[in-house]
Amino acid sequence: MKLDFILNGKKVSSDIEADSMLLDVVRDMGCLSVKRGCDSSSCGLCTVFVDDMPVLSCSVIAARVEGKCVTTLEGLQKEAVEFGAFIADQGAEQCGFCNPGLIMNAIAMLRENPDPTDEEILSYLTGNLCRCSGYEGQLRGIKSYLEFKKVKKGGNADA
């Protein structure tokens, strides 16, 4: 079957099997930031945005994105590079396997709640599997990024 959708801002078309998963389709199209970790919607490594909402692409039949906008980390490079530097600065990227999913989920969280509490951050990122760290580095990185954004926006941390 033919699938037409927008991938990272570009109209694309692909011939797929009726049971193809979105994860496989976007990886076949070169979006290698989308990782296979569990195939059971448990790890967050395959997170993409469908019409600006985060979804786990390992559990979405590709045909469901017909005519929709799909965004992977490759489509969010400016935000991802800026945010990722704060995660790396805290030593939270270690092996890097979980970073794309973590960054996608953190960006989604910050779009939904630009001033989350520590508890809200940890709750939002609960579904992201990271075997290298205890998540404290990611929490510190997100908090540092939030402070940076406040200063950048208003000229001081109280803005």
pLDDT, tens digit, 9 for 90 and up, residues 77-110: 988 888 889 988 988 777 778 888 889 999 999 9
* The CATH number of domain 76-154, selected from 1.10.260.40, 1.10.150.120, 3.30.70.2700, 3.40.50.2000: 1.10.150.120
Higher pLDDT, 134 or 11: 11
Q: Does domain 2-74 have CATH number 3.10.20.30?
A: yes
- Cβ neighbours for 5, distance < 8 A, ≥ 6 positions apart: 11, 12, 65, 66, 67, 68, 69, 70
**Residue ranges of the chain that CATH labels 3.10.20.30:** 2-74
pLDDT at position 156, please? 57
Per the rule left: phi > 0, alpha: psi between -120 and 50, beta: everything else, 44 is: left
Q: For residue 125, which amino acid is it?
A: L
pLDDT, tens digit, 9 for 90 and up, residues 100-144: 888 999 999 999 999 999 999 988 888 888 777 767 888 999 999
Residue 103 and residue 83: Cα distance in Å, rounded?
Answer: 7
Q: Facing residues of 54 across strands?
A: 49
Residue 114's closest CA among 138, 140, 86, 149?
149
Six-digit token string for 82: 């800026």
pLDDT at position 8, please? 98
The rounded mean pLDDT for the chain is 90
